[in-house]
Amino acid sequence: MSGLFESLSTASNSLLAQRMGLDVVGQNIANINTPGYSRRSLVLAEVPPTDSLSAGGGVSVVEVRALRDALVEARLRRAQGGTAYDSALAEELGSVEASIGMPGASIDAELTRFFDAFAELAVDPTSAAARDEVVRQGSALSSAFRSIVDQVTNIRGDVDTSIRSSVDEVNRLAAEMANLNVEIAMNGNNVETIRDRQNTILSRLGELADVAVLARTDGGVDVTLSTGEPLVLGDTAYPLALSANGFTSIQAGGVDVTASLSGGRIGGLLHVRDTMIPGYLGQLDQMAFDIATTVNGMHASGFDAYGVAGGNFFAPPASVAQAAGNLSVDAALLADSGRLAASATGASGDNANARALAALRDGPIPSGGTRTPFDTWGQFAYGVGSDAANARSAASSHGDIVTQLQQLRAQVSGVSYDEEAAHMMRYQRAYEANARYFQTIVSTLDVLMDMVQ
């Protein structure tokens, strides 16, 4: 009699276990598209027999385990950080590339029109209209330099804003991670759900900055910057601080770590803001300085329409720094184009100096070695385009690595319809078999009870 009741209990427990398996399958299928979700697996164990004449106590549910591989997760975080770094470079350098214009439609076009205007003046050095045209083209060239400088400077400001936004996101995620550490330590029923969210946050932190993750014995994690400064320690978050003035600088624990943040999106943005854009602006300044001083030197060697020695064509730049942003035609020449020095001798019809100024298009500029103004601009434009193309290529290459690691992660933690369908059928068949066994025991008990009556 007691044996039958034990069999009934065994069948009941088995039904509960197989139903739990179906519940796990249903949970997996429901979350197949949930970001960060780790596939759940039911762990069953047999219940040992109580004596030598017992077949066993059936089955028990040990746990519902989330399938994760810490090594794959760490590799994926690092790869995502590299992709985010290159993507930030590609995104911002693409903006710089667009701001300098297409070949033949930017500074190179303005240089062509500028020197062409001198060539036209050489045809008729007494023409007031030709003189006015030279001054207009000089102003247009100056305006083109200033416009590009303004656009690139604005891009630099936008990059700085993106850095602030990214740091704010790091601080928000660090605060959330500290709260999750507390919840995990409380060891509630939703620990695996919390850990899924934990992995999602760690993945995003890895995209934003180069971070190190250390697992805690209670299931939580400590997170630090690659340089060792803490972001999260247990239940405490350590937010990064931002400077209030000028371009953003980042402090961790009172220490300026701006120059040390070399990974993730923030590292890429900092590299663009602090290294690449200043380098481009420096090249533009040097180019504008060389053109201004070269043209001024040649212009000053001639004579204007009044027979007076020529002065400056461009307002002389005080230094290379900010020369492009401040480039402009000399105020006296703007007021009176007759001051344009087309003559080399002072004679009214002499065009030698105008021809010499026109010929500067084919001559080297001071810092360019043997390069002409056009060659110098072409090299600059090519350099910007090459940097942007290299960043896009690197981002694509890193993206391929991320895709491969995501596929590897999916093999461990991802949900497969085919696998879940197979599990569902297995648990369904087991449930049906246990249900029949349960019915058999109940029928046997009914027979036994009828005999007793």
Per-residue pLDDT, 310:
92
Same domain membership, residue 23 and residue 171: no
Question: Which structural domain, as residue segments, surrounds residue 222?
Answer: 75-399
Residue 356 identity (one-letter amino acid): A
Res. 1: pLDDT tops 50 = no
Res. 125: pLDDT tops 60 = yes
Same domain membership, residue 181 and residue 110: yes
Same domain membership, residue 58 and residue 116: no
Q: Which residue has the tokens 């890895």?
A: 206
Better-predicted residue by pLDDT, 379 or 3: 379
Mean pLDDT of the chain: 91
> Quick check: is 408 in a domain?
no
**Phi, psi angle pair for 295, to nearest 5°:** -65, -40
> Quick check: is 114 in a domain?
yes
- Kindly report which listed range (84-98, 156-170, 424-438) carries the lowest average pLDDT score: 424-438
Res. 2: pLDDT tops 60 = no
Looking at the whole model, is its pTM more than 0.85?
yes
Per-residue pLDDT, 202:
94
* pLDDT > 90 fraction of the chain, expressed in percent and rounded: 74
Per-residue pLDDT, 49:
79
Res. 332: pLDDT tops 60 = yes
> Quick check: is 386 in a domain?
yes
> Quick check: is 405 in a domain?
no
Encoded tokens for 199: 């992995």
Per-residue pLDDT, 402:
92
Same domain membership, residue 91 and residue 13: no
Q: Residue 447 — pLDDT band, cuts 50, 70, 90? A: confident
With the C-alpha atoms ordered 99, 100, 101, 105, is the resulting torsion angle positive or negative?
A: positive
Same domain membership, residue 320 and residue 245: yes
> Quick check: is 381 in a domain?
yes
Same domain membership, residue 205 and residue 95: yes
- Split into its structural domains, the chain has a count of 2
pLDDT tens track for 64-93: 999 999 899 999 999 999 999 999 999 999
Same domain membership, residue 383 and residue 246: yes
d(CA 81, CA 402): 10
Q: What average pLDDT does this structure show over 355-368?
A: 90
Same domain membership, residue 108 and residue 38: no
Better-predicted residue by pLDDT, 263 or 4: 263
Q: What average pLDDT does this structure show over 149-164?
A: 96
Per-residue pLDDT, 441:
74
pLDDT tens track for 229-249: 999 999 999 999 998 788 999
Same domain membership, residue 109 and residue 222: yes
Do β-strands 250-252 and 255-256 pair in parallel, antiparallel, or remain unpaired? antiparallel
Q: What average pLDDT does this structure show over 388-395?
A: 95
> Quick check: is 170 in a domain?
yes
Per-residue pLDDT, 27:
94
> Quick check: is 112 in a domain?
yes
Per-residue pLDDT, 52:
67
Same domain membership, residue 63 and residue 85: no
Is 159 in contact with 270 (CB distance < 8 Å)? Answer: no
pLDDT tens track for 20-67: 999 999 999 999 999 889 999 999 998 887 776 677 778 888 989 999
Q: 209: closest CA among 255, 244, 240, 243?
A: 240
Res. 5: pLDDT tops 70 = no
Same domain membership, residue 83 and residue 51: no
Per-residue pLDDT, 138:
97
Per-residue pLDDT, 452:
67
Same domain membership, residue 90 and residue 53: no
Contacts of residue 103, defined as CB under 8 A and 6 or more positions apart, other chains included, come to: 378, 381
> Quick check: is 407 in a domain?
no
Q: What average pLDDT does this structure show over 320-331?
A: 96
Res. 372: pLDDT tops 90 = yes
d(CA 253, CA 240): 8
Res. 337: pLDDT tops 60 = yes
